[in-house]
């Protein structure tokens, strides 16, 4: 019983710790219309308007209507061009689209890359190289 209680409070504390500072640490956010259903981690999100906000090692993806939202762990990646427009990059395997990278308006030479989920790794294992699909975005 004591172990379950401690586990619950540890999970709850982690959730509160992650959620509370998210609003304060956002550098910038951008709005984007994604014309197809897509996956972030294991969450299937419908096509539509989204707000993307990077935080320290975490990316928040939230529908404009507020009906869908998820967080994803990311790593920093360096791009080749300084004039590349803000965009989302997806890996497409057949009909499955996985969010892969986010390039924000504030810094176009550094982006955030989503750590592949188990689901994406499974799909990729049974597929050829992914088709790269980009969706342009607009800053806040």
**What is the Cα–Cα distance from 22 to 36, expressed in whole angstroms?**
27
Q: SS3 helix, strand, coil % of the chain, rounded to 5?
A: 20, 45, 35
The tens-digit pLDDT sequence of the chain (140 residues) is: 555 544 444 443 444 344 444 444 445 789 999 999 999 988 999 999 999 998 888 999 999 988 899 999 999 988 776 666 899 999 999 999 999 999 988 776 788 999 999 999 999 998 888 999 999 986 54
DSSP 37-99: -EEETTEEE-SEEEEEEEETTEEEEEETTSS-EEEEEEEEEE-S-SSPPPEEEEEEETTEEEE
Contact 74, 44 (CB under 8 A): no
Which pTM was predicted?
Answer: 0.76
* Residue 43: both structure tokens together: 């969450």
């Amino acid at each position: 019983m004591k172990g379950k209680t401690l586990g619950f409070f540890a999970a709850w504390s982690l959730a509160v710790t992650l959620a509370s500072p998210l609003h304060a640490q956002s550098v910038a956010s951008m709005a984007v219309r994604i014309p197809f259903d897509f996956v972030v981690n294991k969450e299937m999100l419908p096509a539509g308007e989204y707000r993307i906000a990077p935080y320290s090692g975490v990316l928040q993806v939230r529908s404009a209507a507020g009906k869908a939202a998820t967080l994803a762990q990311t790593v920093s990646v360096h791009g080749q061009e300084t004039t590349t427009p803000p965009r989302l990059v997806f890996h497409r395997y057949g009909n499955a689209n996985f969010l892969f990278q986010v390039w924000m308006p504030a810094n176009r030479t550094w982006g955030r890359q989503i750590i592949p989920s188990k689901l994406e790794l499974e799909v990729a294992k049974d597929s050829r190289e992914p088709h790269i699909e980009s969706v342009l975005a607009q800053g806040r």
